[in-house]
Amino acid sequence: MLSSALKSSSLLRGPSAARCLSAWAQVEMGPPDAILGITEAYKRDTDSRKINLGVGAYRTDAGKPYVLNSVAKAEQNILQQSLDKEYLPITGLAKFTSAAASLAYGNTQALERVAVTQSISGTGALRIGGAFLERFHAGKAIYVPGPTWGNHGAVFRDCGLKVGQYRYFDPQTNGLNLAGMLEDIRALPKGSLVLLHACAHNPTGVDPTAVQWAEIQKVVEECEHVAFFDMAYQGFASGDVDRDASALRSFVEANKAPVLLAQSFAKNMGLYGERVGTFSVVGADSAEKDRLLSQVKILVRPMYSNPPVHGARIAGEVLSDSGLRQMWLGEVKDMADRIIRMRAALRGELEELGSKKSWNHITDQIGMFCYTGLTPAQVDRLASEFHVYLTRDGRVSIAGITTGNVKYLAESIHKVTKD
């Protein structure tokens, strides 16, 4: 009897018993992140010619991360002030949020109607916006372009919204499917939530022209839809912060469609790890703005209570100090210009090699990303034979291209596409 009891006790202490007693035994292994998988494969590759075109972060022509001089100087100014580390208000640092709203919407009277809160970068802004819409909009569904940033669907679904799609990218032209986009937006239920990329569409790099934006705005307004702009690249797309915000500002100025905005300073200030952004919603007047902001506070309080202070101080300092602001505007244009030069260089090298394919879309598209039109099989060959890594949908991060690797990259792409 004692021997039997000891045996049972020993079994209970074994690995199988631990599995039986675990409260999390039913939790399945989640799928790996596609971008992280590319980075890991790149790191394992020992070939000196290897190129990583998967990461969505700016790199210098030497392939290195870049801390903007304006950001470094702003940080020095802040450190010299020996500021405390007290909690911020729920809506964040006012110096930053007011300057960020002005950057986005322009110095207009519309700012009096804008309810704005600091957010955990652009992703956090989208999450606040999704929660706000789930609570206060009757539709409970949001429609995003096809394709869109991979995290959009996950963020909105986790907010309790259904996620639909409208046509956007035309794989035949590697450009905008405007007719399909307008047709789909018209067909949505009246008053639907429509997500729009303000500039530098991720992942395609395909932006509407000013004329096309006017057509899109007209349809959204006629259908009484709600426009939720995601603006992660202001200044980084064209090099001009006003041009990149022109679609957003046109909607707000017309004041015919409700407007929300998720704004990020990861790309245009290089504040990736500081997680600096804002969420804002435009009210009908200042009284409505106050009501909206009161509800945003109620949403944020149980979500993360209040935002981090350091990155907001940096961005606020850059935007508020006239000297630093001018320095930053120059630097963000320099970053945008390097991306534009690399697009031209890649297209030029491919054409020089005698490629029979049209590569006009490389320079027609804008911003950090380019939808190359490469097939999954061609992407796989680039990785296995040429040590070039990108996502299997053919999206290239132009920031990973340098004057030192563009010729090899073009040769590699030519070899996998010439058959």
Active site residues: 149, 230, 267
- Measure Cα distances from 409 to 62, 338, 353, 354 in Å: 15, 17, 12, 15
Contacts with 294 (C-beta within 8 Å, 6 or more apart), sequence order: none
- Name the CA radius of gyration of the chain, rounded: 24
What whole-number distance in Å separates Cα of residue 264 and Cα of residue 271?
A: 9
What whole-number distance in Å separates Cα of residue 176 and Cα of residue 8?
A: 68
Question: Residue 358 is which amino acid?
Answer: S
Contact 228, 193 (CB under 8 A): yes
Contacts with 344 (C-beta within 8 Å, 6 or more apart), sequence order: 363
